[in-house]
Amino acid sequence: MKAWALTLSAALLCGCAGPSLTPAPAPMVFHDQLFQPPATPVDTSHVFAVSPAMRDYLSRQIGHGLARKDPRRELFDALYRKDKLQLEYDSAITRDAAQTFEARAGNCLSLAIMTAALAHELNLVVQFQQVEVEESWSRAGNLYFASNHVNLALGRPRLSQGDIYSVDLSNALTVDFIPIPPKSRENAKPLEERTIIAMYLNNRAAELLSQGKLDDAYWSARKAVEQDPGFLNAYNTLAVVYQHHGNLPEAELALRYALSQAPDNTIVLSNLVQALAAQPGPDKQAEADRLRIRLARLEPDPPFHFFNLGQAAMQAGDYRRARDLFAREVERVPDYHEFHFWLALANYQLGNLREADAHMAKALANSTTRGDHDLYSAKLDRIRAYEAHTTGK
């Protein structure tokens, strides 16, 4: 991480959301004069837009069976059967509906958006839902991302486009692109489409920020706040953009507003501590110290805590300590690929080739981007080649 060890809460993997809390964005969080105009205007009309290729697919692959089958089931089968759409999970970028369909890949927010667009074209009722699962974490460069999970339920066709409707969830087909516990699905909370669009914009802001495109990131985060003022993660993302841009007082204001709406949000609190600590003056430092104590009570061992200590141990050449620290992260989050990757490297340095092989294989199995998959596959081949060489001696 950068000097501030910034934590960015985003819907990067599967989407973060919550109920809207305010009717309008707080105007003091916007500071347009600090940024250059976006490279292209931030537009949301394309998010759910259906491409000609999508319409053609529905006509050829699904339309012929609608007279005989439930259209929800036809779409559901197309999404899950490998011989039909052949979708691939890829968390590298958040795509709109048409881009996801063309790539046949996306993170689960992208896949949900594409599914909703196809369902709308079939005149089906769609209900997005926030699933109550434990927050998952990932990182990209110097940013950490917290993600929750969104899925959608397909209701029966509407009688007309103008009807007011609601989804009967007891008789709906739920579309999920990752496995989740049944109880979590039962406790899902409905989300409005405007929140989904805000999540999409927030994701794009996070991705642009990780690429160093701060001006474009600002306008995307700003639009996310405008799209759904109750989606507090967008205020946090806006603040992180300000922090990276060197606008600490502006970051502080956005974070204070978000914290006023969610006082125990540890992500916002962590970023506020860092924004205060990076500013001069004894009052700022004293408040940062007080909030740091409060944060430690709320979250004694924050995400990536043992991982960061493990990386420091690797740099110091203390591979045994690094192995033990990475193992603690794996114990906390057994499905995160990077923890297994580094645990494999520590074991490799210690000469534990069998353990290195096992954890690199788990890193490969849990990878969420094509780039990571290729990296882990190459590393695993190297470990196995070395293992075979030493065994044959």
Instruction: Tell which of 294, 325, 351 closes a domain.
Output: 294
Query: So what's the pLDDT on residue 247?
Result: 96
Residue matched to tokens 């609190």: 269
Tally of domains in the chain: 2
Band of pLDDT at residue 307, cut at 50, 70 and 90:
confident
Query: So what's the pLDDT on residue 144?
Result: 73
Query: So what's the pLDDT on residue 269?
Result: 92
Amino acid identity of 240?
V
Question: Helix or strand or coil: residue 29?
Answer: helix
Instruction: Tell which of 294, 321, 354 closes a domain.
Output: 294
Q: CB under 8 Å to 357, separation ≥6 — which residues?
A: 344, 380, 383, 384, 387
Residue 300 included in any domain? no
Query: So what's the pLDDT on residue 18?
Result: 42
Contact (CB, 8 A) for 275 and 255:
yes
Residue 271 included in any domain? yes
Q: Does 326 or 163 have the greater pLDDT score?
A: 326
Band of pLDDT at residue 106, cut at 50, 70 and 90:
confident
Beta 143-157 vs 7-9: how paired, if at all? parallel
Residues 238, 313: one domain? Answer: no
| DSSP, res 34 | G
Tokens of 90: 């890829």
Mean pLDDT of 339-358: 89
- pLDDT > 50? residue 357: yes
Query: So what's the pLDDT on residue 2?
Result: 28
Query: So what's the pLDDT on residue 148?
Result: 73
- pLDDT > 50? residue 374: yes
Band of pLDDT at residue 97, cut at 50, 70 and 90:
very high
Amino acid identity of 263?
P
For the CA atoms of the chain, what is the radius of gyration? 23
**What pairs with residue 147 in β-bridges?**
136
Beta 143-157 vs 124-140: how paired, if at all? antiparallel
Band of pLDDT at residue 91, cut at 50, 70 and 90:
low
Instruction: Tell which of 294, 318, 345 closes a domain.
Output: 294
The dihedral of CA 340, 265, 10, 280: what is its sign?
negative
- pLDDT > 60? residue 77: yes
Mean pLDDT of 49-77: 80
Band of pLDDT at residue 334, cut at 50, 70 and 90:
confident
Q: Residue 309 is part of a domain; what is its CATH number?
A: 1.25.40.10
Mean pLDDT of 375-391: 77
Residues 241, 324: one domain? Answer: no
- pLDDT > 70? residue 323: yes
Query: So what's the pLDDT on residue 70?
Result: 78
Residues 232, 362: one domain? Answer: no
Helix (H) or strand (E) holding 365: helix 353-365
> Considering only 42-46, 302-306, 381-385, 387-391, which range has the smallest mean pLDDT?
387-391
Contact (CB, 8 A) for 2 and 97:
no
Distance, CA of 353 to chain centre:
33
State the Cα–Cα distance between residues 167 and 34, nearest whole angstrom: 44
Beta 189-191 vs 124-140: how paired, if at all? antiparallel
Residue 30 included in any domain? yes
Mean pLDDT of 257-262: 92
Residue 346 included in any domain? yes
- pLDDT tens-place string over residues 188-204: 788 899 999 999 999 99
80: left (phi over 0), alpha (psi -120 to 50) or beta: alpha
Tally of CB atoms within 10 A around 159: 9
Contact (CB, 8 A) for 200 and 47:
yes
Residues 311, 276: one domain? Answer: no
Residue 60 included in any domain? yes
Q: CB under 8 Å to 315, separation ≥6 — which residues?
A: none
Residue 299 included in any domain? no
DSSP state letters, 65-78: GTTTS-HHHHHHHH
Band of pLDDT at residue 3, cut at 50, 70 and 90:
very low
| DSSP, res 59 | I
Query: So what's the pLDDT on residue 303?
Result: 80
Query: So what's the pLDDT on residue 6?
Result: 37
Query: So what's the pLDDT on residue 135?
Result: 67
Residues 288, 315: one domain? Answer: no
Nearest to 255, CA basis, from 308, 216, 295, 304: 295
- pLDDT tens-place string over residues 111-123: 899 999 999 998 8
Query: So what's the pLDDT on residue 217?
Result: 96
- pLDDT > 60? residue 160: no
- pLDDT > 90? residue 42: yes
Residues 310, 178: one domain? Answer: no
State the Cα–Cα distance between residues 313 and 7, nearest whole angstrom: 22
Beta 143-157 vs 105-106: how paired, if at all? unpaired
Strand stretches in the chain, DSSP E: 7-9, 88-89, 105-106, 124-140, 143-157, 173-175, 189-191
Residues 87, 202: one domain? Answer: yes
Query: So what's the pLDDT on residue 89?
Result: 67
Query: So what's the pLDDT on residue 179?
Result: 66
Tokens of 68: 């005989």
Residue 331 included in any domain? yes
Q: What percent of the chain has pLDDT over 90?
A: 40
**Averaging pLDDT over each range in 148-152, 185-189, 252-256, 380-384, which range is the top one?**
252-256
State the Cα–Cα distance between residues 62 and 66, nearest whole angstrom: 7
**What pairs with residue 154 in β-bridges?**
126, 173
Residues 269, 339: one domain? Answer: no
> Considering only 245-254, 281-290, 374-383, which range has the smallest mean pLDDT?
374-383
State the Cα–Cα distance between residues 304 and 227, nearest whole angstrom: 31
Q: CB under 8 Å to 23, separation ≥6 — which residues?
A: 229
Query: So what's the pLDDT on residue 372?
Result: 76
Residues 34, 61: one domain? Answer: yes
Q: Does 287 or 93 have the greater pLDDT score?
A: 287
Residues 174, 107: one domain? Answer: yes
Query: So what's the pLDDT on residue 369?
Result: 72
Question: Helix or strand or coil: residue 123?
Answer: coil
- Kindly report the pTM of this predicted structure: 0.80
Query: What is the residue range of 312's domain?
Result: 305-392
- pLDDT > 50? residue 164: no
